[in-house]
Every structure is written in C-alpha cells, then in structure tokens.
Amino acid sequence: MATTLEILTSPALRQVRHGFFTRKGGASSGVFAGLNCGRASSDLAEAVTVNRRRVAQAMDVPDEALIGVNQTHSAKVVAITEPFETLPEADGIVTNVPGLALSILTADCQPVVLCDAKAGVIGAAHAGWRGALSGVLENTVAQMVALGADRAQIIAVIGPCISQRAYEVGEEFMDEFLMEDPEFSRFFSGGPNGRPMFNLPGFGLHLLREAGVKQAEWTGHCTYHDAERFFSFRRTTHAKEADYGRLISVIRL
C-alpha cells in the first residue's frame, strides 16, 4: 500500500497543527488495511509501530512525543507536561507544552480536538456515548481552563465519527439519556426499523457549547458509511469480522 497519508484538517484550527488521519497510507493489511494505530488491536505490533511513526513524522514530532492514553470510555482527563512511560487510564488529555502531540484513537466514537491558541493550551478527547454522557468533554474544557485557557476562546472540532443515520440504538439506550435530561430526546429520531437513531456528534456539539465553547463544529465525516477511508467498530460487527483498526486524531502546539 502507498505510504501517502490522508490527513483531514479544519480551517477553524488553522492556528495549530492538527489532523484527523484516515486509514489511508498505512502498513497494516487484512481487516486492518491501512493506517491502524491501535496497539490494543490484534494487528501485527510491527505494523502499528510503523503506522504510528508515520503519524509522528507527519506531525513533525519524535515518536515518543506522540502522546496517547489508555482509553476506557470514562470522564477522566489528564494534564501532561512530558511523555510518560505507562499510559494512564483516561479519555481526555490537555497540555500547554509545545512539541507534545496529543492523540486519540477511535473507530466510530468522537475524536475531539480543542485549542485556545492565544493561551497556548490544547486538548484531545475520546467521546463515545458513554464518555460524553459521563462528562469527558466538560472535564477536558475544565482542565484546559485550569492551564490558562479561556472558555470563550476555545475552539473545538469533532472529527470523523458515526453519524445519526448509521447509529440505531435500543429503547433502553435512549432511556439512559432521558433519565439524565428529558431534553436529550432531541438527539434521537425514529429509524427505519422502528428503533431510535442517536445523533452522537449533535450531542457532542451541544455538550461543548454548554461547557462555554463558543466555536464548535463537526467535520461531517461518517466512519460507518465510508469504509475506504475510515475504520468502524459497528461496520466490523455487522460484517462479523474478528477485529477492527483504530483511527488516530492528533493536535499539537
């Protein structure tokens, strides 16, 4: 496979280096074909290492400066000042140190990158439905503020994730949201099979704005419906494949 990477960016974040990497241009093969950056996958470790090195090079940082966390669908956020030996369990990362590239792995969940360029503070969050409902986005914003960011100056962009037209859920799933806030009903619509369809990026944008982020947007890319460019946990499940690749999204000062 060609080594040319495809990196999606947002004009809203033009003041900082960032990228939502598609699966194109990686060293992995089979169901992982392309740029699989998930060490927790059953892909060849050597291929994942090559893929991550290509991402680090694209972001112009040493391999060790491509920082990630052990994601657990939680609301926990860590502030970092240097690379660490053991990945902490968290789903959000923030820093004000230039040269560190914060990364998030996803395969349908929302990768969210944030910055206050004036204050020199950036953040990245893994926000699936559980983490979003638990408060990972609000906590990421709060940790950025603790490092000197201004909520009103933070810009947040949600990268490729599953869209509402691909996200059929059960009634009990919807009930969990409605118990939290009946107003959350607006993020659900009726689906073709009579089951609710959940608007994950719409929910993420709502939470970011409620947290005081004035400028928040979604890139509009659906991971489920574009198999050539994106890995998708749900698509893999429907296809009864054994495993799936993980996309990487990165931001750095």
HEC-encoded secondary structure of the chain: CCCCCCEECCHHHCCCEEEEECCCCCCECHHHCECCCCCCCCCCHHHHHHHHHHHHHHCCCCHHHEECCECCCCCCEEECCCCCCCCCECCEEEECCCCCEEEEEECCCEEEEEEECCCCEEEEEEECHHHHHHCHHHHHHHHHHHCCCCHHHCEEEECCECCHHHCECCHHHHHHHHHHCHHHHHHEEECCCCCEEECHHHHHHHHHHHCCCCEEEECCCECCCCCCCCCCHHHHHHCCCCCCCCEEEEEEC
How distant is the alpha carbon of residue 23 from its chain centre?
Answer: 14
Over range 134-149, report the average pLDDT.
98
Q: Flag the least confident range among 42-46, 76-80, 102-106, 110-114.
A: 42-46
Over range 152-173, report the average pLDDT.
97
pLDDT range class, residue 191, cuts 50, 70, 90: confident
Query: What is the overall mean pLDDT for the chain?
Result: 95
Asked whether 245 and 231 are in contact (CB, 8 A), the reply is yes
Q: What domains does the chain contain, in order, with CATH numbers?
A: 7-163+199-252 (3.60.140.10)
Burial of 73 (0-12, 13-18, 19+ CB in 10 A): middle
pLDDT range class, residue 1, cuts 50, 70, 90: very low
Q: Flag the least confident range among 15-24, 59-68, 222-231, 236-245.
A: 236-245
Report the percentage of the chain scoring pLDDT > 70: 99
Asked whether 89 and 126 are in contact (CB, 8 A), the reply is no
φ and ψ at 9, to 5 degrees?
-130, 165
pLDDT range class, residue 85, cuts 50, 70, 90: confident
Q: What is the pLDDT of residue 2?
A: 45
